[in-house]
Amino acid sequence: MKTEQYNGSELVVKALAALKVEYIFGYPGGSVLDLYDALFQQSEIEHILVRHEQAATHMADGYARATGRVGVVLATSGPGATNCVTGIATAYMDSIPMVVLSGQVPSNLIGDDAFQETDIVGCSRPIVKHSFNCRDAEQIPTVLAKAFYLASTGRPGPVVVELPKDILNPLQKFDYTMPQSIEMRTYNPSVKGHSKQIKKAVEAILGAKRLVIYSGGGIVLSNTSEQLTELVETLNAPITNTLMGLGGISGTHPNFIGMLGMHGNLEANKAMANADVILALGARFDDRVTNNVKKFCPEATIVHVDVDPTSISKTIKAHIPVVGCLASVLEQLQSAIEKSPSRIDRSAQEQWWQQITQWREQKCLSYDLGVDVIKPQTVIEKVYQITQGDAYVSSDVGQHQMFAAQYYPFKKPRQWINSGGLGTMGFGLPAAMGVKLAFPDQHVVCVTGDGSIQMNIQELSTCLQYGLAVKIVSLNNRSLGMVRQWQDMMYGGRHSSSYMESLPDFVALAQSYGHIGIRVDHPSELDGALEKAFAITDRLVFLDIRVDEKEHVYPMQIKLGAVDEMWLKKGVKA
C-alpha cells in the first residue's frame, strides 16, 4: 500500500500539529503563501493574524511565558522576518521557548538580492539559541522537531527556521516521517548537579549565619517553584527574587523579602549586602541587580546554581558553582540537607531575621499619597485588590513596570509577564494577548504607559478580531516617565525628548478600534472606574489613568554604589 504523500507546506502543518501547537502568530506574505494555503485547509492549528510581526513575536512570547509551552511565529521573508528581530531578542534575553518560522525567497534566488530577501538567519544569529536553514522539504518534520526540542530544553530560547519558498511548493510531494525522539551529539541539556559541588553547597548553606536565597527567572522557567518553597521553609531562609523571578515564591510568603536590585526593596538589598552566604538559583547577577560589581557583597560566599554554565562567574565569581537543571539540583540539595548531620545555627538565624525585620520596618515602599492627584502606586495596589492578586499581569517598560513589580505581589510563577532582560517597550499589549488566548477565563491586565502603549497600539485591532478582552491599565503621565526620572536625577532636570506633547485621546482611540475606553483624572474616580472595567469580561477595556507626572520610582540604587546603597525618596538616602 502506498503511503500518502504531502507537499512541503503540508509537512510544516502536520509537523506542527504533531508537536501539539495550538496557535501560530503571524502575518502572510509572498514567500509563505503556500504555507498559508495549507493552514487554511486544516483545523488543528489556529492562526492569529497580527497587525505587525513584532507583535506576533511578543504574543507568542507571552503565550510561552504563561503556559510554559513553545510560542510559534510565522512571518514572510524580508521585512516580515526583520520585524521579528526585536521580539526574538526579547525572548532570547529572558530565555523564552519560541520557534520563529520565516519565509525565504526560492533557493535559486538566495544571494541575488531578490525581492523581499533578507538573510534572517544571519540577522538573528546573535539573538537565537540556534537556527536552521531548511533546504530540503523532506527534512521539514525533523528540523521542526529539533527546533522545538532546542527551544524548550536546557536553558530555553528562541530558534529561527528559514523556509525557502521552493520547498513549500504544493506540487512536489514527499513522505512524512516525524522523528520519535531527538538526539543531537552536540547538545545534552539535562544535567544533574555534580555530587561534590552539592556537598560543598550544603556545607556552606548549613554553615551560614546570614543566608540569603536569591532566585531568578530560572525557577519560573523550570517549574520548580514548589521545590524552592520547600527549601526556603526547610531552611527558614530569607528569599529575594529578581524582576524575572517574581512569583517563583509567593509574594505574600513570610520569608519573601521582596525584589532586589535597582528598584528592589531596601531589606532585600541590605540582606544581600550583609549576607555571609548567598544561594543564587537560576539568576544571573545582572547589572540591574548587582549595581557596582566591584562593591558587590564582598563578605559573601556565593553558591550559584544554573543550567547554563556561561551564567556562572560571568559577572560575579561563584565560590561554589553548581551546573545543573534546577529540578534535579533542588532535589539533590533538599535531600542532602535533610540527611546532613549538621544543622543550621538557629540562634544566629534568629538574629539575622531580627536585623531583616528592622530593615523591613523602614517600609521602603511607602509613598506620599498626595492630594487631588492619582499616584501610580495606588493604581497598582487597587488593581491587586480588585483582582485579589490572581490576575496575569503583563507590563511594558519603564516606571509603570517597576510599580507593577513592586506593588503587585505575585502569588504564583508565570503570573508576571515582562521584558526584563531586553526592556522592550511595546511588549505589554501583545504579550497580554498571548496570555489571554491561553487563559480566556482569567483576568489579564496589561500595565502600561502613554509611551509604551503606542509602540504596538495597532494590536487593538487584533484584539477585536479575536475577542481578546484584556484590561489595559495605562498609567498616563504625559511623559516617558523613567527617562524623565533619570533626567531629573542625573541631567539637571533637562527633559530632553521625554515629553509626549501630542498624545491621542486614548478613550476615543480605544472606541474607534471597537473597544471600551475609560478616562480617570481624579483619585475619587479611580475605584468606580476599576470596578466598572473589571466587571466587564467580554470586551477589551482601556483605562487611561492620568497619574502624577512628577512621581519617581523608589527605592533606587545609587549609581556605581554597592548593592544596598539606595535613594529611598527624593533626596533621602538609606
Partner 1 sequence: MRRILSILLENEPGSLSRIVGLFSQRAYNIDSLTVGTTADQTLSRITITTHGDDRVVEQITKQVNKLVDVLKIIDLTEVPHIERELLLVKVFAKDEATRAAVTRIADVFQGSIIDMGKQSYTLQLLSNAERLESFLDMLRHESDIIELVRSGAVGIGRGDKALKG
Instruction: For 348-360, give the DSSP string.
Output: HHHHHHHHHHHHH
Residue 30 buriedness (CB in 10 A; 0-12 / 13-18 / 19+): middle
Distance CA 529, CA 520 (A): 7
Footprint on residues 283-312 left by partner 1 (CB under 8 A): 308-310
| Amino acid present at 524 | S
Nearest to 83 by CA among 110, 55, 103, 105: 55
CB-CB contact of 500 with 450 (8 Å): yes
Active site residue 115: yes
Marked catalytic residue, from 425, 482, 556, 566: 482
Dist CA 499 CA 88 (whole Å): 29
**Choice among 10, 14, 53, 542 that is catalytic:** 53
Per CB under 8 A, the segment of 109-117, 178-186, 237-245, 465-473 that binds partner 1 is: 178-186
187 or 499: whose CB is closer to partner 1? 187
DSSP 8-state assignment for residue 193: P
State the catalytic residue, choosing from 22, 116, 138, 458.
116
Asked if 442 is part of the footprint of partner 1 (rule: CB under 8 A), the reply reads: no
What are the helix and strand counts (H, E) for the chain?
A: 21, 23
The Cβ of residue 541 has, within 10 Å, a number of other Cβ atoms equal to 22
CA gyration radius, the chain: 25
Residue span binding partner 1 (CB under 8 A) among the ranges 9-17, 127-135, 359-367, 535-543: 127-135
CB nearer to partner 1: pick between 185 and 346: 185
> In the set 13, 134, 150, 405, which binds partner 1 (CB under 8 A)?
150
Q: Which residue in the set 47, 130, 173, 319 belongs to the binding site for partner 1 (CB under 8 A)?
A: 130
Site for partner 1 in 35-54 (CB under 8 A): none
In the DSSP assignment, the letter for residue 187 is B
Contacting residue, 108, 175, 184, 505, with partner 1 by CB under 8 A: 184
The answer to whether 319 contacts partner 1 (rule: CB under 8 A) is no
Q: For residue 393, what are the β-bridge partners? A: 416, 445
Q: Is the dihedral of CA 445, 447, 451, 456 positive or negative?
A: negative
Using CB under 8 A as the criterion, what x/- string covers residues 82-121 for binding partner 1? ---------------------------------------x
Residue 455 annotated to the active site: no
**In angstroms, what is the minimal distance from the CB of 151 to partner 1?**
11
Least CB distance to partner 1 at residue 310 (A):
4
Query: Least CB distance from residue 187 to partner 1, whole Å?
Result: 5
Per-residue contact track with partner 1, 203 to 242, x per CB under 8 A?
A: ----------------------------------------
How far is the CA of 565 from the CAs of 165, 291, 489, in angstroms?
Answer: 56, 9, 15
Which one of 14, 165, 382, 471 is the catalytic residue? 165
Give me the helix-helix angle, 8-18 and 33-40, nearest 10°.
Answer: 50
- How many residues in total does the chain contain? 574
Q: For residue 5, indicate whether it is catalytic.
A: no
Query: Is 116 one of the annotated active-site residues of the chain?
Result: yes
**Judged by CB, which is closer to partner 1: 189, or 207?**
189
Q: What letter represents residue 481's amino acid?
A: G
497 binds partner 1, rule: CB under 8 A: no
Minimum distance of partner 1 from residue 136's CB (angstroms): 12
Grid coordinates of 296: 558587590
Question: In this chain, which of 14, 51, 52, 129 binds partner 1, going by CB under 8 A?
Answer: 129
Alpha helices in 294-345 (DSSP H): 326-339
**Phi and psi at residue 163, in whole multiples of 5°?**
-120, 100
Just list the catalytic residues. 53, 115-116, 165, 482
**Residues in the site for partner 1, rule: CB under 8 A?**
121-122, 125-126, 129-131, 133, 150, 184-187, 308-310, 313-314, 317
